[in-house]
Amino acid sequence: MSCFSSADESAHYGFSVCMLLDQYREQLRWEHEEIVELGTGDATAISDVVQALPGLRVRGFDISGPSVDRARANIAERGLGDRYAVELGDFFDQADAAGGERASTVISNPPYIPAPDRDILMPELWGGVHGNDLVLQLLKAGYDNVVTAVASYADPLTSVRTAEDLGYRVVNFLAMGLDFGTYSSEPKVREHIRRLCADGRGWAGDDEYMVAVALFTRNPEIPGDRGDQLLRALQVDPAPAVPAVAAA
């Protein structure tokens, strides 16, 4: 099992999380309670956030042993061990298993590569057939606030509408264009992405896609409802045409 790294995506993710946490500091209350993290990776992006936001405490989880080792080394090197801890294991099994008060905010840059199955160059990046399995699972986990990356080719319409059905609103987001990398460019994956987009389940250009980091919330104290704006930023029609039904 290897460690995934993408400098552009990581930088965008870290910057976006920092901006959203800072902008909604009072409502998210992270100065009074820790936040939890699904998929720490090497911890570089969120280490920058923890350094930039004194008072922020993060407890991360990752299923990759090498990633956890690198994350702990990076955290220790920056002297953040008192505010950023990483545990090896499945987030959904462990994040709330320790007892005590449940965290209200979770952050994640989840795997979102869509493919028919896990048999791809880096299976750890598989996000399910439509690419949004982890986003949907995270939204259904019941946290009040979810800060997560949403990719344009990973069925964002279903993700946003499912969030709305669960009582969430997209209150803000930061979007960025990215080029297809090694894993998106794998022929099997690229062809699957083309089929998904042709079926209306996302958007991708010839060699590019969009990714946004969005704050989904159920907190009535946080204003805003930008779900349709998020979809448009990802080049997805928020109200796709319904196919006409032939008369009998």
pLDDT at 245: 52
Q: pLDDT tens across 101-123, in order?
A: 789 999 999 999 999 999 999 99
pLDDT at 97: 56
- For residue 200, with 0-12 CB atoms within 10 Å meaning exposed, 13-18 middle and 19 or more buried, which class applies? middle
Residues 228, 152: Cα–Cα separation, whole Å: 13
Side-chain-facing half-sphere of 82: CA atoms under 13 Å: 4
pLDDT at 6: 64
pTM to 2 decimals?
A: 0.93
Instruction: Please give the structure tokens belonging to residue 51.
Output: 């350094």
Instruction: Please give the structure tokens belonging to residue 110.
Output: 């989840």
**Looking at the domain 7-233, which fold is it?**
Rossmann fold (3.40.50)
